[in-house]
Amino acid sequence: MEHLVSARKIRCREIAGRDIGAIADLLTRGFPHRSWDYWLSGLQRQTERAVPEGYPRYGYLLEAGGDAVGCILLMFSEKAERQAITCNVASWYVEKEFRSHASLLTAMALKHKHVTYINVTPSPPTWPIIEAQGFQRYCRGLYFSLPVLSRTGAASITVIAKGSAKPDDLRESDFKLLTRHAGYGCLSLVCRLPGREPLPFVFAPFRMRQGRIPIPAVQLAYCRDVKDFVACAGAIGRFLLGRGKPLVIIDSNAPIAGLAGFYSEARGRKYFRGPNPPRLADLTETELVLYGI
């Protein structure tokens, strides 16, 4: 086997649009709990989204004799509020017989020193590996909230869909973010409290399993500040309950004051590497919204 591998020319290159079928095949083999359609749908969303100039649209692949034998998905985006480039380092897989060449992928993926890289779905066995690559933890766990139990005051809720007209009182940047993520299959809302400007929220679908009973839930993918969610929790909770989604999962480093629920560090850890530490409550343009949870 070693002779056969060495006889095939190994190279690392940028993934092109013509490769997405092969990449979907490769990732389906690497992550058999995910379907081929799941990967293809996410790759097609990567095809359509805006990418900062000069950065790869999909990521990199490892090629042996013309065949895709490994890949790493990357999602570059420009955070307007920080004027910085962020990259979500997503699904990474290399066929077993080629794993001695896997470092080629990580070297290509992490080569931009001015980019802040984030990993938002690391499995516990990979935590030591990620830390050895220079990543630091910025989120320790998750808060599982039941916002309908909140006693916050009245607020109005507006759904923003992909083809919605922009409300006059909503910032243009917020409207673009909300409609773009609605197009990814997220639930985009605007919450209005008396005396405050409209507050944008994005919720990603989430299937929470506890024992054998599936619990319908959503994950908070975006708000300006978690305090905004706490302030609107009662109204949002009633709205979501009406849609059969009683549970809202929030990235957190501790229990959240003023919000019914519980905190756990069993899952949800997130990492970054680079000059601009990310904040909580911003999972925009990551695999969690482009591919789904």
pLDDT digits (tens, 9 = 90+) for 94-132: 999 999 898 899 899 999 999 999 999 998 888 998 999
Per-residue pLDDT at 195: 87
CATH number, residue 89: 3.40.630.30
Token pair 């482009």 is found at 290
Place 50 in a pLDDT band, splitting at 50, 70 and 90.
very high
The more confidently predicted of residues 69 and 293 is: 69
Token pair 């409300």 is found at: 167
Q: What percent of the chain has pLDDT over 90?
A: 80
Would residue 109 count as lying in a domain? yes
Q: Are residues 222 and 256 in the same domain?
A: yes
CB 229 within 8 A of CB 125: no
Specify whether 171 is located in the same domain as 124: no
Same domain, 44 and 132: yes
In sequence order, which residues have a C-beta less than 8 Å from that of residue 37 and are 6 or more positions away? none
Q: What does residue 240 show for φ and ψ, rounded to 5 degrees? A: -70, -35
Residue 276 lies in a domain: no
For residues 252 and 223, give the distance between their C-alpha atoms in angstroms, rounded to a whole number.
13
Whether residue 147 sits in one domain with residue 69: no
> Does the reported pTM lie above 0.95?
no
Residue 107 resides in a domain: yes
Average pLDDT, the chain: 91
Residues 170 and 234 placed together within one structural domain of the fold: yes
Give the pLDDT score at 4: 44
Domain stops at, among 119, 138, 157? 138
Which band of pLDDT confidence, cut at 50, 70 and 90, is reported for residue 3?
A: very low
* pLDDT of 78 strictly over 50: yes
Angstrom distance (rounded) from CA 107 to CA 93: 14
Q: What is the pLDDT of residue 2?
A: 44
Using the predicted structure, report yes or no on whether residue 197 has a pLDDT greater than 90. Answer: yes
Q: Are residues 146 and 237 in the same domain?
A: yes
What gap in Å lies between CA 8 and CA 11, rounded to an integer?
A: 10
CA separation for the pair 235, 282 (Å, rounded): 21
pLDDT at site 215 = 77
Q: State the amino acid at position 257 in one-letter form.
A: A
**Among 104, 138, 172, where does a domain finish?**
138
Per-residue pLDDT at 210 exceeds 60 = no
Q: How many CB atoms lie within 10 A of CB 11?
A: 12
Q: Are residues 118 and 198 in the same domain?
A: no
Check residue 292 and give its pLDDT. Answer: 86
With b for 16 or more beta-carbon neighbours within 10 A and e for fewer, the 225-247 pattern comes to ebebbbbbbbbbbebbeeeebbb
Residue 274 maps to a domain: no
Domain containing 252 equals 142-268
Rounded-to-10 torsion of CA 106, 186, 160, 234: -110
Based on the structure, what is the number of domains in the chain? 2
Alpha-carbon 49 to chain mean position: 14
Q: Which of 112, 138, 164 is the last residue of a domain?
A: 138
The helix (H) or strand (E) run that includes residue 177 is helix 172-183
Over range 228-248, report the average pLDDT.
Answer: 95
Paired strand residues for 19: none
What is the tens place of the pLDDT at every residue in 265-279? 998 999 999 999 999
Residues 177 and 79 in one domain: no
**Is 153 or 255 the better-scoring residue by pLDDT?**
255
Return the pLDDT at 24.
Answer: 97
Look up residue 73 and give its two tokens.
């998905």
Lowest mean pLDDT among 7-11, 37-41, 107-111, 195-199: 7-11
Give the confidence band of 83 by pLDDT, cuts at 50, 70, 90. Answer: low
Co-location of 98 and 127 in the same domain: yes
Residue 55 is classified by DSSP as S
- pLDDT at residue number 185: 93
Provide the pLDDT confidence category of residue 213 given band limits of 50, 70 and 90.
low
Residue 149 and residue 132 in one domain: no
Same domain as 98, residue 73: yes
Q: Do 41 and 134 belong together in one domain?
A: yes
